[in-house]
Chains A and B, each alone.
Chain A
Amino acid sequence: MPTTVPAYGKEAAERLASMADVTADDRALRRFLHGLPGVDAVGLQARAATLGTRSIKTTAKAYAIDLAISMIDLTTLEGADTPGKVRSLCAKGINPDPTDRTAPQVAAICVYGDMVATAKEALKGSGIHVAAVATAFPSGRAALPVKLADTRDAVAAGADEIDMVIDRGAFLSGRYLDVFEEIRQVKDACVREDGTAAHLKVIFETGELQTYDNVRHASWLAMLAGADFIKTSTGKVAVNATPPVTLVLLEAVRDFRAAVGVQVGVKPAGGIRTSKDAIKYLVMVNETLGGEWLSPDWFRFGASSLLNDLLMQRQKLSTGRYSGPDYVTVD
């Protein structure tokens, strides 16, 4: 098995290795995960709702909008994607508002593996990352060798980040160690020939995990296996990112860093369409994790239509008027 190159440094890797006994076998892993504090659903939802009532105005709003734009993984994940569509998305990521060059660029362009080379080429020199969904996205229902090949393909094509999905079937049937091993092997598959590695984002599809306890267990499981980011959803199911689910992820990365010393990023994805929603998420990050996570290095939005709403709000702040959808680009 190739050795994983951790993005977070040697010392943290050693601390993570010291947690090896909790992943020794399925029973130890289950005991550990089930020993984590429970999540009270009513209290969690109340807290998420309260954070959503912060009133963000004027300078704070301008700051939040630019921050949110810089955190977007601008995404196209359609069967009908063409190189042309990906190239125009890349152009938009580099220069989101043609009428206002002060608008920040997005964090990454997120595409299917076969579009990585196209995106990489289109983004050359921009500093914007290419994120590729892999591991039989979005269902994750394929044999492990297929998933690993999918990952290696995307990495070889130049992906900076890999968004993998976990095997929800294995997770829900309690085969935690299988999920753990799979994440670890995908993490290894992210290693490039030069020894560096693509960042690994692990998608839980929280809408399918059903309970908040499951979401917390999945978060720790992924982080123990070496996830660089944990991500709520694929955007392909009925229930995607919600504020309470994202709050569980935020609490998990906070507690994980306190326990292991490794900082992990968080990415809510799917269904975040308005500036108002995005700002609520930023408030949640701010008040749960603080400024250390308020950067595209540690927090991302998986979204496609959010950018335009942010741009329209941005134009409104600078001109005092609402413009409308014809004043931002369609893709």
Chain B
Amino acid sequence: MPVFEYAPAPESRTVVDIAPSYGLFIDGEFGEAGDGKVFKTLSPSSEEALSEVAQAGAEDVDRAVKAARKAFTAWSALPGSERAKYLFRIARIIQERSRELAVLESLDNGKPIRESRDADLPLVAAHFFYYAGWADKLAYAGYGTDPKPLGVAGQIIPWNFPLLMLAWKIAPALATGNTVVLKPAETTPLSALFFADICRQAGLPKGVVNIITGDGSTGAELVAHPGIDKVAFTGSTEVGKAIARTVAGTKKKVTLELGGKAANIVFDDAPIDQAVEGIIGGIFFNQGHVCCAGSRLLVQESVQDELLDALKRRMGTLRVGDPMDKNTDIGAINSAEQLARIRALADAGEAEGAERWAPECELPSSGYWFAPTLFTGVTQAHRIAREEIFGPVLSVLTFRTPEEAVAKANNTPYGLSAGIWTEKGSRILWMANKLRAGVVWSNTFNKFDPASPFGGYKESGYGREGGRHGLEAYLDV
């Protein structure tokens, strides 16, 4: 039988110039942290240190917030059409530098270049373009004729989509006239620092965007700082709860985009081949590091065998390995810590009696790797059906009737997203009304668009990002 082996097709690293160290971006200038502390950021696929970045302390956070406060007066007073010009300029620079940014993101995050190139960067630019378009039309957004910005936004973003989450946070904040202090995740700070450079390239006034790097303690300082008017956080439910406690009783507004344990529901009349693709994309996109990942597959009993055969066959064609290879489908797990968490939960699945399956695949010897994994025989009582794994691990459950599918899908502390696969339109509408999830995809999964609001029910957080709804979070309404 002939074998069609794809020769390696590595993207060039030379398109991105990573400095040996980076400071904090405050008031339009890069500078060291007050106490000179630094930490390293690693490439998850090789464990190689890429650069050193500053660890911002309380004093640095204070400086950043003050710079944002000072810039707010002039920035918020600009006509919307003027703010739009800056945002359009930023969007265009992102497009021009997209190859460089995609390579950088893959190096720092471990995600395959085809995803950073084909999914992340186009969406990043699209978000800036979209909110640039809103900047001079806020009077028509449905929040009164002259909605006002909140002031200084303290924003904390996760490591799964570093630049995209930055865009989701910064674009609407600036369009509505707020200024920001943003803290990227400690394992993926580089693209935010490159974005700081893009702000300078775009001539954005000093202090409108401030980027401070650091770990959870920096984030906690930012959230607690009395000088901010709004907290926007995307990350784990645990940290989200801590943030909610911190801001409780203050005047700060808060939006939280937290975890998820989405149900991907496949009925027996589903377009099977496309459902399989949707399941694959739903859980293995970005190594499963997606808060709205379809990590619970609910399949109608009558097509279980057929679907699982097709799914396993398809999983066998996934290519795991070097994120810089253009043919890689699944890259590296973002950190040793995350890998340990995925392993622990997968082991728990096995210990609790679910059946584990993974296609044969060779994993690189250095870096953090986890093969795409499938668990069958999972019940609602298993930990792997309840806890967010945030990795390439799919739990398969079955159902017999639409009512049972709804009950199982909703039986989770989370409610970020869900997917329905059926050829019957009326069932899609009926299900979508019953499912307690912020986004319900039908016959597709993991589709994002700047015009579409995104956010959760229950422990998946509150507030919406994206679309016209996303403006509300940054306006005094």
Contact = CB atoms under 8 A, between A and B. Distances in A.
B7 A60 contact: yes
Interface stretch (B83-91, B103-111, B265-273, B389-397): B265-273
B4 A47 contact: no
Contact of A57 (B9, B118, B271, B423): B9
Contact of A47 (B3, B5, B277, B443): B277
Given A57-B7, A294-B2, A42 B443 contact: yes
Contact of A38 (B3, B4, B271, B327): B271
B271 A37 contact: yes
Contacts of B269: 37-38
Interface stretch (A112-120, A235-243, A285-293): A285-293
B277 A43 contact: yes
**Quick one: which of A37, A286, A295 has the most chain B CB within 10 A?**
A37
A64 B3 CA distance: 10
B70 interface: no
Interface in A238-279: 251
Contacts of B3: 291
Interface stretch (A48-56, A94-102, A150-158): A48-56
Given A294-B2, A295-B2, A54 B327 contact: yes
A197 to B, nearest CB: 26
B317 A287 contact: yes
A144 interface: no
A55 B273 contact: no
Contacts of B270: 37-38
A39 B271 contact: yes
A58 interface: yes
B322 to A, nearest CB: 12
Interface in B362-391: none
Contacts of B326: 53-55
A241 to B, nearest CB: 19
A46 interface: yes
B7 A58 contact: yes
Contacts of B443: 40, 42-43
Contact of A60 (B1, B4, B114, B273): B4
B260 interface: no
Contacts of A67: 2, 4
B430 interface: no
B246 interface: no
A47 B278 CA distance: 10
A133 to B, nearest CB: 28
Given A43-B278, A47-B277, A60 B271 contact: no
Contacts of B274: 39-40, 42-44, 47
A78 to B, nearest CB: 34
A63 interface: yes
Nearest to B270: A37
Contacts of B327: 54-55
Contact of A59 (B1, B7, B271, B277): B7
A206 B400 CA distance: 37
Contacts of B277: 43, 46-47
A211 B231 CA distance: 49
Contacts, number: 76
Contacts of A64: 4
Interface in B248-270: 269-270
A116 to B, nearest CB: 30
B452 to A, nearest CB: 15
Interface in B294-353: 317, 326-327
Contacts of A291: 1-4
Given A39-B273, A44-B273, A44-B274, A54 B4 contact: no
Contacts of A183: none
B307 to A, nearest CB: 10
Contacts of A39: 271, 273-274
Interface in A9-62: 37-40, 42-44, 46-47, 53-61
A53 B271 contact: no
A39 B275 CA distance: 10
A251 B118 CA distance: 26
A312 interface: no
Contacts of A198: none
Interface in B100-130: 114, 118
Given A42-B444, A55-B327, A63 B4 contact: yes
A42 B274 CA distance: 9
Contacts of A59: 5, 7
B85 to A, nearest CB: 34
Contacts of A286: 4
A282 interface: yes
Contacts of B2: 67, 291, 294-295
Contacts of A58: 7
A245 to B, nearest CB: 13
Contacts of A63: 4-5
Nearest to A47: B277
B114 A53 contact: yes
A80 to B, nearest CB: 38
13 contacts: A37-B270, A38-B269, A42-B443, A43-B277, A43-B278, A44-B274, A56-B7, A57-B7, A58-B7, A60-B4, A60-B5, A287-B317, A290-B1
Interface of B: 1-9, 114, 118, 269-274, 277-278, 317, 326-327, 423, 443-444
Given A64-B4, A291-B4, 16 more contacts: A37-B270, A40-B274, A43-B443, A53-B326, A56-B9, A57-B7, A57-B8, A57-B9, A59-B5, A60-B5, A60-B7, A61-B7, A67-B4, A283-B4, A291-B2, A294-B1
Ranked 5 nearest A-B pairs via Cβ = A43-B274, A55-B9, A55-B326, A40-B271, A291-B1
